C-alpha cells in the first residue's frame, strides 16, 4: 500500500523500526506494465535509554484514566490517517528547535525502572518557552493543550500520509485546521505530560508507521 500523487507519479512510503531486512517495491504503471525492485533495509542497533523521575502516574496510569488515554490515542490516529493529496513533504524537513539531542529514535526504554515501549521520536532538550517551528509546510490536524502522555501536542499533515508530531509543549499557538509554513512558530518547548524536564519530542510518521526524524532532517546545524 502506497500513497501516489496522481498528477506527478511521486510516491512516498516509510519503513518502521522493526522492518524486515528486505522489502519488495512493486510499481504498477497506468499502462499495465509492472516493475519489481528488492530494497535492502539497513540494520540499525537500538540503544537502551533509562529515564527516571517521571511522574509515576504517567508510567503506570491509574485505571480511571484508561478511557481518556484510549480517546486521545484514537484522536492521534485520526489526525495521522487522512493523508491529504499534497506534496508538502517533498522539500524536506528542517529542525523544529535546536538543542542537545537527549533521546534518540528506536531506543528501548526503561522508565522509572520499568520496561516500556520503544521511543519513537527524537527528543531535543531546550529551555521551557523555546519557540518550536514547523519543519516543513503543512496543515495542523491536531492541536491540544494537554493530552495525558504527551501534554501540549500538535500534529501537522505534510501530505500523502506524512505527518509530524510535537509533544510536551508549554504553549500551543496554532489551531487544528490551520495551514503552516516552514519556519512558522507553532508553540513552545515545555515539560507537560510524561516528561522529566523541558524538551521537545519530535516524531515523524508515514500513516501509522513511526519514522526517525533525524534521518529526514540530517545533522543539526
Ligand atoms: Zn520523546
pLDDT in tens, the chain (221 residues): 567 787 888 889 999 999 999 999 998 888 999 999 999 999 899 999 999 999 999 999 999 999 999 999 999 999 999 778 899 999 999 999 999 999 999 999 999 999 999 999 999 999 999 999 999 999 999 999 999 999 999 999 999 999 999 999 999 999 999 999 999 999 999 999 999 999 999 999 999 999 999 999 999 98
Check residue 62 and report its DSSP letter: -
Ligand 1 (ion): residues with CB under 5 Å are 103, 121, 123, 201
In a domain, 40, yes or no: no
- Rounded CA separation 73/79 (Å): 10
Question: CA Rg, the chain, in Å?
Answer: 18
In a domain, 35, yes or no: no
Distance 167 CA to ligand 1 centre (A): 8
Distance 26 CA to ligand 1 centre (A): 34
**Separation of first and last alpha carbons in the chain:** 35
Distance 120 CA to ligand 1 centre (A): 7
In a domain, 15, yes or no: no
What CATH number did the domain enclosing 52 receive? 2.70.70.10
In a domain, 31, yes or no: no
Q: Where are the beta strands (DSSP E) in the chain?
A: 3-4, 11-12, 22-28, 34-40, 48-51, 100-103, 108-111, 114-116, 122-125, 131-133, 138-147, 151-157, 162-169, 171-172, 179-180, 185-188, 199-206, 209-211
Based on the structure, what is the number of domains in the chain?
Answer: 1
Distance 112 CA to ligand 1 centre (A): 15
Spell out the residues 6+ positions from residue 79 whose beta carbon is closer than 8 angstroms to its own: 141, 142, 155, 157, 163
- Rounded CA separation 94/217 (Å): 5
Question: What is the value of pTM for the model shown?
Answer: 0.94
In a domain, 125, yes or no: yes
Distance 194 CA to ligand 1 centre (A): 9
In a domain, 27, yes or no: no
Distance 192 CA to ligand 1 centre (A): 12
Q: C-alpha grid cell for residue 134?
A: 514547523
- Rounded CA separation 78/80 (Å): 5
- Rounded CA separation 59/70 (Å): 15
Distance 187 CA to ligand 1 centre (A): 16
In a domain, 67, yes or no: yes
Check if the beta carbon of residue 163 is closer than 8 Å to that of residue 88: no
Distance 56 CA to ligand 1 centre (A): 17
Place of cell 532532517: 217
In a domain, 136, yes or no: yes
Place of cell 499495465: 32
Distance 124 CA to ligand 1 centre (A): 8
Q: Side by side, which strands form the sheet with 131-133?
A: 131-133, 185-188, 171-172
Amino acid at each position: 500500500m502506497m500513497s501516489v500523487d496522481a498528477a506527478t507519479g511521486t510516491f512516498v512510503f516509510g519503513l518502521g523500526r522493526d522492518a524486515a531486512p528486505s522489502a519488495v517495491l512493486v510499481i504498477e504503471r497506468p499502462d499495465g506494465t509492472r516493475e519489481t525492485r528488492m530494497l535492502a533495509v539497513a540494520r540499525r542497533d537500538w540503544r537502551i535509554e533509562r529515564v527516571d523521575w517521571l511522574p509515576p502516574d504517567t508510567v503506570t496510569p491509574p485505571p480511571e484514566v484508561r478511557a481518556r488515554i484510549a480517546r486521545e490515542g484514537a484522536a492521534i490516529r485520526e489526525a495521522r490517517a487522512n493523508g491529504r493529496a499534497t506534496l508538502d513533504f517533498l522539500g524536506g524537513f528542517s529542525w523544529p528547535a535546536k538543542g542537545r539531542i537527549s533521546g534518540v529514535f528506536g531506543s528501548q526504554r526503561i522508565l522509572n525502572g520499568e520496561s516500556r515501549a520503544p521511543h519513537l521520536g527524537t527528543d531535543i532538550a531546550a529551555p521551557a518557552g523555546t519557540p518550536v517551528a514547523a519543519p516543513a509546510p503543512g496543515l495542523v490536524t491536531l492541536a491540544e493543550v494537554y493530552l495525558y502522555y504527551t501534554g501540549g501536542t500538535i500534529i501537522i499533515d505534510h501530505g500523502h500520509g506524512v505527518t509530524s508530531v510535537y509533544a510536551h509543549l508549554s504553549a500551543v499557538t496554532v489551531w487544528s485546521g490551520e495551514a503552516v509554513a516552514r519556519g512558522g512558530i507553532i508553540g513552545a518547548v515545555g515539560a507537560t505530560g510524561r516528561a522529566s524536564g523541558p524538551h521537545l519530542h519530535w516524531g515523524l510518521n508515514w500513516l501509522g508507521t513511526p519514522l526517525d526524524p533525524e534521518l529526514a532532517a540530517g545533522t543539526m546545524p
